[in-house]
Amino acid sequence: MRVLSLVIPVFNNQPTLPELFKRVSNLRIELTKLGVNLELILVDDFSTDGSRETLVDYCDNNPEIKLVLLSKNFGGINASKAGWSKATGDVFTTLASDLQEPPELVLEMASEWLKGHQFVVCERISRNDHIKERFTSGLFYRVLRKFVFHNYPTGGFDLALLPNRFLPTLLESAKSVYPAALIWSLGLKPKVISYHRGARKHGKSGWTLRKKINAVINIIFGFTNKPLRFVVILGGITSCLSFTYGSVVVLSSLFQGNEIPGFATLVTLLTFLFGIVIIILGIISEYLWLIFLEINKRPTFVIEREFNCSSKRMR
C-alpha cells in the first residue's frame, strides 16, 4: 500500500488533543479504504500545559504512532521540520493541532493525489476568526501577492501535499524561510482545494502580528531582490534631486546674486539624506542578518526523545 506521512506539531494544545486523536483515527480508516496507509508523526514543541504527557500516553497505547519531543520551544516551522525528518511515506503533509484546518482535508488531498496530482494545496476562501486576525492575515497575503508571488492563493494555505522527493528541499532550506512560500516558489502547478477555516475552540493562536511581520519581511528579503532594487533607485533619485537642488542654488547665487539659503535649508537636507541612509542601512542589515543565520550553524531543532513503532524510547 502507498503511505502518506502526516506531521502534526503540537504546542500547548492539550484541550484539542482528544478530538484530534479521534478524527485522525477516522482519517486512518478512510485512507485505508483508498489503499493508503497513514504514517502519523506527532511533534511536541516543548509544551507546558500537559500536552507532552498526553502525547506520550497516546503513543504508548498506539505503537504505530511516531512521537518526537523537542528539547525546547523551537517554533512551529522548526517543529514541522523535525517531523519531516522522520517521514518515510510516498507523500507528506503537515496539519496544525488546533483543528482550525479540518483533518478530513487530508483525505481530499489523498484522493487528488491518487488521481495523479503531485502537488495539492488547500486554499482558505473564508475564515471564522476575530476581525483583527482576518485583517492582519489578509494584509499579510496581499503583501505577498504584491511584492513576491503574484499568483499566490488569495486566502493563503497551510495544508499542502507533496511527494517525498521534496523533503530534502524543505529540510535543507534556510532557517528563516517560510515553508509555504518555499513550496510555492518551486514552480509546481497545484491542484487547489478550497475550504472554510473553522473557529479556534481552545487557546490563542501563536501566529501573532509580530510573527506575521517577521515572516513577510523574511519572505520579501528571501525570495526577491526588490529591496536592493529599491535601494538603488532611491539612491539614484536622491542623488539627482540633491545635484539638481545644489546646481539651482549655486547658479542662482552666481547669476542673480541671491543669498544661499541658510540653517533651515541645511537642516532639512541633512535630515532627509540621513533618513535615506538609515533606510538603506536597515535593508542591508536585514540581508546580513539572514546570511548570519545561515552561516552560524545553529540547529533548527534538537530532539530530546523519540517514540515510534520500532523503538519505544530512545535518544
The string of pLDDT tens digits covering residues 131-146 is 777 787 788 888 888 8
Distances (CA, A) of 153 to 125, 143, 181: 9, 12, 11
Which whole-number Å values give the CA distances from 11 to 40, 50, 97, 199, 290, in the listed order? 17, 10, 8, 18, 26
Q: What is the dihedral of CA 80, 81, 85, 89, to 10 degrees?
A: 50
pTM flag (> 0.75): yes
Least confident of 15-24, 119-128, 197-206: 197-206
Q: Give the start-to-end residue ranges of the domains of the chain.
A: 2-205+299-307, 226-295
Cα-based distances in Å from 20 to 152, 219, 315: 29, 31, 27
Separation between Cα atoms, residue 186 and residue 85, nearest integer Å: 20
| High-pLDDT (> 90) share of the chain, % | 38
What is the sign, positive or negative, of the torsion defined by CA atoms of 293, 294, 297, 301?
positive
Q: Are 147 and 220 in contact (CB under 8 A)?
A: yes
Write the pLDDT tens digit of every residue in 168-179: 989 988 777 888
Query: What was the pLDDT predicted at 251?
Result: 75
Q: Is 82 helix (H, G, I), strand (E, B) or coil?
A: helix
Residue 119 has a pLDDT of 93
Order of all β-strands in the sheet with 120-127: 191-197, 120-127, 157-163, 91-94, 2-10, 36-44, 66-70, 303-307
pLDDT bin (cut points 50, 70, 90) of residue 20 is very high
Query: What is the pLDDT confidence band of residue 248, given thresholds at 50, 70 and 90?
Result: confident
Instruction: Identify the CATH class of 2-205+299-307.
Output: alpha beta
* Coil, strand or helix at 67: strand
Q: Which three cell numbers stand for residue 128?
A: 471564522
Instruction: Give the pLDDT band (50/70/90) at residue 315.
Output: very low
Portion of the chain with pLDDT greater than 70, in percent: 90
**Nearest-10 Cα torsion for 270, 272, 278, 280:** -120
Dist. CA 164–CA 247, nearest whole Å: 63
What is the average pLDDT across 40-56?
94
Instruction: Please check whether residue 93 is in contact with residue 163, taking contact to mean a CB–CB distance below 8 angstroms.
Output: no
The Cα 175–Cα 130 span in angstroms is 30
| Residue 210 scores a pLDDT above 60 | yes
